[in-house]
């Protein structure tokens, strides 16, 4: 299903979506399990971030250099050498990426809120802004993108309907708001500067954004740890205690998987199609990964079962994927001569 795609769009976006799904399922499950104390000592989200972000940094560097994509970055001469260097706009987009990286990990460590619900909440917000970004960028939104958008937004409504017991803390609301604000700015930059038929343009933007996002997140965590008081104690403990604890291996795996979601997720969003197509593909992949993570944790005795509302919401996401994958194929078939 994930590789069924029109000739016009090509296969790449669906392969990236599969990679995003494959990294996101274990990433979200391990983050939730580690923060809930299911993998030994309970490790708060703020304490996980220093080690996981360090692992993300090295995973990013290995990917960029192993693929050779670093060669597409803008160069700046520093001394006698020319080095890859981001532009002003890719640097700002990278800062948004750093915000998304940290807020996503923290979202899955909030007590009393399931992985799937947090996914639907954050993904629903990004889905709602996709056509707005397209309108601001002057991009045409096709009918099947509107249908998929409606289905994915409906999945959020179904997941929250009638859940009077659900209460979001101030921290949870702030985390979601920061996540959505970062995504809005990032999508605007991507639409204006990176969504192109030229692969070189897309790769340049991707690499330059990656050069900023994880390093800046790691730098911010280091500054928080240096403060070390007034709510920043856990960041310090993440640098000074977690690396020497039995849970450090899990945090390293979480970091690598987190970077995997960052890489594959960004490549889905950078597809040349309108945001109202690429964003639902991106969001749907992560929601399905959240469902798999929840079911897997329940099967292993590490978490609660999937709520009925969340299961129905996930089913709507599956319907959105079918619309996005099959409708372009049917349109392409009708457009061929003799059909």
pLDDT tens figures, 231-242: 789 999 999 999
| pLDDT tens-digit readout, 54-110 | 999 999 999 999 999 988 888 887 877 888 888 889 999 999 989 998 888 888 777
In order, the DSSP letters of 280-325 are HHHHHHHHHHHHHHHHHHHHTTSSPPPPHHHHHHHHHHHHHHHHHH
| pLDDT tens-digit readout, 7-66 | 344 447 888 999 999 999 999 999 989 988 888 889 988 899 999 999 999 999 999 999
Contacts of residue 68, defined as CB under 8 A and 6 or more positions apart, other chains included, come to none
pLDDT at 246 > cutoff 70: yes
Residue 2: predicted pLDDT: 34
- For residue 3, the tally of other CB atoms under 10 A from its CB is 10
| Residue 286 · residue 123 · CB < 8 Å | yes
Residue 162: predicted pLDDT: 56
What are residue 75's phi and psi, to 5 degrees? -105, 145
Output the CA angle 82-83-88, nearest 5 degrees: 115
Q: What percent of the chain has pLDDT over 70?
A: 91
Break the chain into its structural domains and give their ranges. Answer: 15-218+246-329
| Residue 98 · residue 56 · CB < 8 Å | no
In this prediction, residues 141-170 reach a mean pLDDT of 71
Contacts of residue 16, defined as CB under 8 A and 6 or more positions apart, other chains included, come to 264, 265, 267, 268, 271
Side-chain-side CA neighbours of 147 within 13 Å: the count stands at 14
Query: Cα(292)–Cα(116) distance, rounded to whole angstroms?
Result: 9
In this prediction, residues 290-299 reach a mean pLDDT of 85
Q: At what angle do helices 170-193 and 275-299 cross, to 10 degrees?
A: 140
In order, the DSSP letters of 32-93 are HHHHTTTTSS---HHHHHHHHHHHHHHHHHHHHHHHTGGGGS-EEEETTEEEE---HHHHHH
> Looking up tokens 């999937």, which residue turns up?
306
């Amino acid at each position: 299903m994930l590789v069924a795609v029109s000739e016009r769009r090509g296969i790449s976006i669906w392969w990236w979506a599969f990679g995003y799904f494959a990294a996101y399922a274990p990433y979200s499950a391990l983050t939730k399990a580690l923060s809930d104390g299911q993998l030994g000592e309970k490790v708060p989200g703020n304490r996980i971030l220093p080690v996981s972000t360090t692992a993300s940094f090295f995973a990013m560097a290995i990917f960029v250099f192993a693929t050779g994509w670093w060669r597409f970055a803008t160069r700046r001469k520093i001394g006698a050498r020319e080095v890859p260097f981001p532009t002003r706009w890719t640097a700002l987009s990278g800062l948004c990426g750093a915000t998304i990286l940290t807020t996503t990990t923290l979202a899955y460590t909030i007590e009393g809120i399931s992985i799937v619900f947090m996914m639907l909440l954050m993904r629903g917000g990004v889905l709602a802004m996709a056509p707005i970004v397209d309108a601001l960028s002057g991009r045409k939104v096709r009918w099947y993108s509107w249908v998929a958008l409606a289905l994915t937004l409906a999945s959020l409504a179904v997941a929250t309907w009638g859940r009077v017991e659900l209460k979001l803390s101030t921290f949870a609301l702030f985390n979601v708001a920061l996540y959505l604000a970062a995504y809005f700015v990032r999508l605007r930059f991507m639409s204006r500067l990176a969504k192109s038929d030229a692969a070189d343009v897309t790769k340049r933007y991707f690499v330059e954004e990656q050069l900023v996002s994880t390093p800046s997140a790691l730098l911010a965590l280091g500054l928080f740890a240096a403060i070390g008081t007034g709510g920043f104690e856990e960041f310090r403990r993440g640098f000074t205690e977690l690396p020497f604890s039995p849970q450090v291996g899990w945090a390293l795996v979480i970091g690598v998987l987190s970077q995997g979601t960052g890489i594959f997720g960004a490549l889905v969003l950078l597809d040349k199609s309108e945001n109202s197509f690429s964003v639902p593909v991106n969001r749907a992949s992560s929601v399905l990964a959240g469902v798999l993570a929840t079911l897997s944790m329940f099967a292993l005795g590490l978490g609660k079962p999937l709520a009925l509302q969340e299961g129905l919401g996930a089913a709507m996401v599956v319907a959105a994927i079918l619309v996005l994958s099959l409708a372009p194929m049917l349109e392409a078939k009708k457009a061929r001569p003799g059909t």
